[in-house]
Structure 1
Amino acid sequence: MAGRVTAVSRNETYVFSKPNRESITLLAGLGVEGDVHAGETIRHQFRMTYEPDLPNLRQVHLMHEELFDELALKGFDVSAGQLGENITTRGVDLLGLPTGALLHLGEQAVVEVTGLRNPCAKINDFRAGLLGQVFSLDRDSGEFTFKSGVMAVVRRGGPVRPHDPVQVELPPPPHRPLERV
């Protein structure tokens, strides 16, 4: 599987959306340089209050741009960085990846996919009704659907820019499906 980066975003403060940048730098074991969620331990604002010493499995948030196309068909105008992601991609089935998949971004950077982003109610503050489009419960099966991207940790640092290639390296089988982190 191959795809490309379409946008990169970061923010130094805890706000929902992240402004697009010309480039970001990934730091091994930490996340996006200058981003509020970078660090070895949890940086998610809510989870820091009750699990502050757990490893940060959410160093980098990746979102598939195809979601924005899907949302536009339902009347929601959403673009890169607005849902808080750091890296927006096209042509990569992020949600279909197994846990532990490696994404080679550009010439140097490598991230390891740790799980699905668990969307929060702040999505509805951004656009009313949007949470129901990126998170749902199938009443018959009891299964949840998470569409708001994947989380990853940085295995090898380096710069990432729009138009950089994304190469997927699958882990050895058996593959474990993504769970929320």
Structure 2
Amino acid sequence: MSVHALALSASHDFSKTPVHEITLLRGLGVKGDCHLGVTVQHRSRLHITPPPPNLRQVHLIAKETLDERGLVPGDIGENVTTAGIDLLALGRGTKLHFLPPSSPAGAPSPPLKTSEPGSENGNDRDETAEGDNHAVVVVQGLRNPCPQIDRFRAGLKDSFLVRDNERRIVRRLAGVMGTVERGGVVRVGMRIVVEEPEGGFEELGCV
């Protein structure tokens, strides 16, 4: 289970630009990305008052999902493309630990940092990984495929939806959204360790 690719975009373009590494900021998201913030940054929700908390700080999708549709990392706006993880089967509250490839499999997790999230734009904050102080993302829910996907490629949106015989949506396949519990640098090739939530399994819903 590993990081296959990474991407970010400072502007609200649909696709993101592939990069070799990203910096995650605790309680905010991906440094330099348009969705960085304590409150939701998606344009379709900016009108909501009071603004809801940002549960979409980091978008993750499986390489296998992209491959099945002839897509490449960054095409549909994800930040992290994973390999070897069934993201859609994870429960809400699952923690994803981003570790160097050489980290021992049984290495204990270091204590969490206790500093509070920074400003919404994150400009006054630069929490990066030092030594074993690795980044942790908490899975919050599913991405709900939006009409923009069809503007990228006609008919693509439906490929991310599973419907029953009455055309009701029963599954969404466009990856998961998470929040940053511990900041740090994430690089292509890093190993991902999955930590199940303490309170038992809770199925993912849309966020």
Given the two structures, how large is their TM-score scaled by the length of structure 1? Answer: 0.92
* Root mean square deviation of aligned Cα: 1.4
Aligned to 1:167, the other structure's residue is in SS state: strand
Matches within 5 A, 1:87-102: 87-102=80-95
Q: Paired residue for 1:74?
A: none
Give structure 1 stretches of 5+ with no counterpart: 72-76
Q: Aligned residue for 1:82?
A: 75
Distance 1:173 1:45 in 2: 33
Kindly indicate whether residue 66 of structure 2 is the aligned counterpart of residue 65 of structure 1.
no
In the superposition, relative to structure 1, how do residues 24 and 135 fare at CA in structure 2: closer, same or farther (>3 Å)? same
Taking the aligned partners of 2:173 and 2:74, their CA distance within structure 1 comes to: 15
Task: Please tell me whether Structure 1 or Structure 2 has the larger radius of gyration of its CA atoms.
Answer: 2
Q: In structure 2, what is the equivalent of residue 179 of structure 1?
A: 205
How many percent of aligned residue pairs carry the same amino acid? 44
Q: Which of 37, 40, 46 is matched with 2:38 structurally?
A: 40
User: Tell me, what secondary structure is at the counterpart of 2:43?
Assistant: coil
Runs of 4+ deviating beyond 6 Å: none
What SS does structure 2 have at the residue aligned with 1:177?
Answer: coil
The correspondence of residues 98-117 of structure 1 with structure 2, limited to 5 A, is: 98-107=91-100, 108-117=134-143
Aligned residues: 174
| Uncovered stretches (5+) of structure 2, i.e. residues with no partner | 101-133
Contact 1:42–1:52 at 8 Å: present in 2 too? no
TM-fit CA distance, 1:173: 4.3
CA distance in 1, matches of 2:8, 2:50: 22
Alpha carbons 1:117, 1:148 under 8 Å: kept? yes
Alignment partner of 1:151 is 2:144: no
AA aligned opposite 1:135: L
For normalisation by structure 2, the TM-score amounts to: 0.80
- Distance in 2 (alpha carbons) for counterparts of 1:33 and 1:106: 19
Amino acid at match of 1:86: N
Q: Is the 8 A contact 1:8 1:87 kept in 2?
A: yes
Distance across 1 between alignment mates of 2:92 and 2:155: 29
Correspondent of 1:6 among 4, 7, 15:
4
